[in-house]
Structure 1
Amino acid sequence: MARIVVVGAGVGGLAVAARLAVTGHQVTVLERADTVGGKLGRYTHDTASGPFHFDTGPSLLTLPGIFHELFEATGAKLDEYLDLVPLDPIVRHVFPGGGPVLDSCADPAEFTARIGAALGDRAAADWQRLWRRADRVWRASERDILRRRVDSPRDLTRLAWRLGDLTAIRPGQSLRGLGRAHLSDLRLRMLLDRYATYTGADPRRAPAALVAVPYAELAFGGWYLRGGLSSLADALLSRCLDLGVVVRTGATVIRIDAAGGRAHGVRVDGQAAPVPADVVVANVDALTVYRDLLPDPRRLAGLADRSLAGFVLLLGVRGNSGLAHHTVFFPRDYDAEFDAIFGAPGRGVRARPATDPTVFVTVADDPAVRPTDHEAWFVLVNAARHGTVPGAVDWRRPGLAEAYADRILDVLAERGMDVRDRLVFREIRTPADLADSTSAPGGAIYGTAGGLLRPANRGAAHGLWLVGGSSHPGGGLPMVTLSAQIVADEIGPAW
């Protein structure tokens, strides 16, 4: 039996703790915040009409089979803890210039028919051709990448991919290039580009292999958890406690002790004695690990802090807006938005708030999260990370957040969804707020190392492992859960 310390109680940290505890290890989870869940946050705003409840992180659960596997591996059934509600549409896409909307769904034939009805037969045929490519990429990725350790690009070259897999994945091509090669309709290209942002990346630079992201969503479905996605954190905490895991909140780890090249404990702020450990699992951003907790200039140099962040409005709205659970309102110039978010630091061009951004609105049809005859809106706009360097925005600059919130509401009004006279309240969450609440560097949503290949799960010292969105296989609830499975399998059982 090993003494294992998990740093961070996000989904990845709780999932790996439960998996390790069920195999006989002594597991302690240390979390700096007062609650568990990490970026899977929640917020309640009380009003005279009643409370509004918000998920302040993920709003969609995909690849539910991964979560069924997790709970079964820890001796439970997912349905005993969570009520999964399938979504149709998964996302309603509202394109610039008016015209028909496009509702995505988990039935490939039905979605193709919807594309044909909204955008024409050629667009539907294009999508079918792309879908066949995405299927090959998904199968190769799921088999060879997502469920195994990948320590370096050399590991990818050694995988036993068939020639057809390599042709489908096509190393060197961008997701934008893939869209241009397969999709003649600009609106479908915009739809595809949006999935790069699910990994924190710019579609013009993101690898074409990320076509597996829409495939996973549209082949296996999108799900809501009744009561909110944060109920997943509650369920995982319950599993951990039932399995004997010690979970300490309000415990900020300030250093990983790894003298002699082996992890043997952590230091907690305000605590004189170290917390001993045979194994340390870090469920914090890789940049934070190698910059602050266990400084490693070599590994730090390999981390690209170029992942996007998010600017969020939490709105209490009177009445019924008729929106789908998820609605994305696209801009006229998608490239201008990415130019603003990422800037061009090499040319001295600073990042800035996009003036005409894509706006993603989540409105759960769930009486448990809002008063009668009201709606709880979670409004997300992709944004540059917080900071003072050319590729970032100082979101603490006086007046900026309020002015940008006004602009987003104006953009929604311009796109046919004016709620300015129906607001009960509005609250703002900037990338700086996310950085403060979750220790995500710059407020990066999906980890600072955006893109396909993330930092390795095996850490810089023997007995140190990394889980979570900034490490392999990537960001998003399913991927961080798979990272927990990879690490738990590598550590192995206590017997």
Structure 2
Amino acid sequence: MARIVVVGAGVGGLATAARLAATGHQVTVFERADTVGGKLGRYAHDTPAGSFHFDTGPSLLTLPEVFHDLFEATGAKLDEYLDLVPLDPIVRHVFPADGPALDSCADPVEFATRIGAAFGDRAAADWQRLWRRAARVWNASSRDILRRTVDSPRDLASLAWRVGDLAAIAPGRTLRGLGRRHLSDPRLRMMLDRYATYTGADPRRAPAALVAVPYAELAFGGWYLRGGLGTLADALLTRCLDLGVVVQTDATVTRIDATGGRVHGVRLAGVTAPVPADVVVANVDALTVYRDLLPHPRRLAGLTDRSLAGFVLLLGVSGSTGLAHHNVFFPRDYDAEFDAIFGDPGRGVRARPAADPTVFVTVADDPMVRPAGHEAWFVLVNAPRQGTAAGAVDWRRPGLADAYADRVLDVLARRGMDVRDRLLFREVRTPADLDAATGAPGGSIYGTAGGLLRPANRGPANGLWLVGGSTHPGGGLPMVTLSAQIVADEIGPAW
């Protein structure tokens, strides 16, 4: 039996702790915040009309089998803890030109039919060809990448991909290039581009292999958890406590002790004595690990290319708007948005809030999260990270957050969804707020910008492991949960 310390009680940390405790290890979790969940945050707002409850992080659960596997591995059933609600549509796409919206769904034949009805038979045929290619990429990725350690480019190169897999993955091609090659309709190209933002990347630079992301969402479905996705954190905490895991909140780890090439424990703020450990699992951003907790210049190199961040509005809206659960309102010029968000430091062009951004609106039809006759809106806009460098924006600048919130509401109004005179309240969350709340450097949602190779799960000292969205296999709830499975399997059982 190993003494294991998990740093951070996000989904990755809690999932790892539960798996390790279920196999006989002695596990303690230290979390700097006063609650668990990490980026799976929540916010409640009381009004005379009643209480509103918001997920402030992920709003969609995909690959449900990953979570079924997690709970079964810890001796439980997912359905005993969580109420999964399938979504149709998964996402409603609203495009800038007049015309029909496009509702995605988990039935590929039905989705192709919807594309044909909205954009014509050629668009539907284009999508079906791309879908077949995406299936090959997904199958190769899920078989060779998502459930095993990938520590270096050499590991990727040595994977036993068949020639057909390599052709589908198209090394060196971008997601934007793949869309232009396969999709004739500009609206479908725009929809495909959006999936690069799932990894925090610019579609003009993101690898074509990210076509696996829409495949995973549309092949296995999108799901909502009744009561909000934050209930996943509650369920994982319950599993951990039932398995004997010690979870301490308001406990900040300041250092990982790793003299002599192996970990010995961690140090906590305000505590003189170190906490001994045979194994340390870090569920914090890899940049924070190698910059602050265990300084390592070689591992730190390359982690400064940060993913995009998010600007969020939490709105209490009176009445019903008829929106789907997830809605995307696209701009007329998608490239202008990416030019603004990422800037071009090499040419002296600073990042800035996009003037006409894509707006994501999540509205859960769930009486547990809003009073009768009202809606709780989670509004997300892609945004530059917090900072003062050329590729960032100082969101703490007085007046900026409120001014941009006004701008986002104006954009929604121009796109036919004006709720400015129906607001009971609005709360603003900037990348600076995410940085402060979760320790995500600059408020970057996915750590480093998306690509096939993420920081390795295996740390540079024996007994050190990394889990979470900034590490392999990537961001998003299922990938974070798979990182926990990878690490727990590598550590092995206590017996």
CA contact (8 A) 1:200 1:451 kept: no
Change (3 A) 1:449 1:294: farther
Amino acid at match of 2:36: V
- Counterpart position of 1:210: 210
Kindly indicate whether the alpha-carbon contact (under 8 Å) linking 1:200 and 1:308 is maintained by their aligned counterparts in 2.
yes
Report if the CA contact (8 A) 1:285-1:448 is conserved: no
Distance 1:33 1:305 in 2: 26
Deviation readout 1:149-202 (Å, 9 max, x if unpaired): 000010011111100000000100000000000000000000000000000111
Map 1:27-426 to 2 at 5 A.
27-426=27-426
Deviation of the 1:451 alpha carbon: 2.3
The separation in 2 between residues aligned to 1:247 and 1:450, in whole angstroms, is 31
CA distance in 2 between partners of 1:56 and 1:115 (Å): 31
* C-alpha contact 1:450 1:470 (8 A) present in aligned 2: no
1:423 is displaced (CA, Å) by: 0.3
Query: Unpaired runs of 5+ in structure 1?
Result: none
Measured against aligned partners, the alpha-carbon deviations of 1:16-69 in whole angstroms (never above 9, x if no partner) come to 000000000000000000000000000000001110000000000000000000
The Cα of 1:305 is off from its aligned counterpart by 2.6
**Secondary structure of 1:335 counterpart:** helix
After the TM superposition, which segments of 4 or more aligned residues of structure 1 sit over 3 Å from their partners? none
> Aligned partner of 1:339: which letter?
D
- Matches of 1:450 and 1:378 in 2, distance apart? 24
Give the deviation of 1:128 after TM superposition: 0.3
Q: Distance in 1 between matches of 2:320 and 2:362?
A: 13
Contact 2:86–2:222, Cα closer than 8 Å, also in 1: yes
- Paired with 1:451 and 1:385, the residues of 2 have a C-alpha distance of 18
Q: Name which of structure 1's ranges 440-449 and 131-140 shifts more when overlaid on structure 2.
A: 440-449
Displacement after TM superposition at 1:98 (Å): 1.7
Calculate the TM-score normalised by the size of structure 1: 1.00
Matched-pair identity in %: 86
1:395 and 1:468 map into 2 onto residues whose CA distance is 25
C-alpha distance in 1, partners of 2:170/2:243? Answer: 44
Which amino acid in structure 2 is aligned with residue 296 of structure 1?
A: H
Q: How many residues align?
A: 495
Report how far residue 374 of structure 1 moved: 0.4
**8 Å Cα contact 2:395-2:431 kept in structure 1:** yes
Are the equivalent residues in 2 in contact too, given 1:286–1:455 (CA < 8 A)?
Answer: yes
Letter in 2 for 1:439: G
Using the alignment, how far apart are the partners of 2:414 and 2:451 within structure 1?
A: 32
**Amino acid in the other structure paired with 1:388:** T
Aligned to 1:455: 455
1: CA distance, partners of 2:337 / 2:463: 42
**What code does the residue aligned with 1:400 have?**
L
Rounded to whole Å, the distance in 2 between the matches of 1:42 and 1:23 is: 31
SS in 2 for 1:412: helix
| Contact 1:304 1:449 (8 Å CA) reproduced | no
Contact conserved, 2:455 with 2:472, CA < 8 A, in 1? yes
Which whole-Å CA distance do the structure 2 matches of 1:446 and 1:154 have between them? Answer: 23
Gapped regions of structure 2 (runs ≥ 5): none
The CA deviation at 1:449 is 4.4
User: How high is the TM-score relative to the length of structure 2?
Assistant: 1.00
Distance 1:313 1:86 in 2: 25
Q: Specify the code of the residue in structure 1 equivalent to 2:182.
A: H
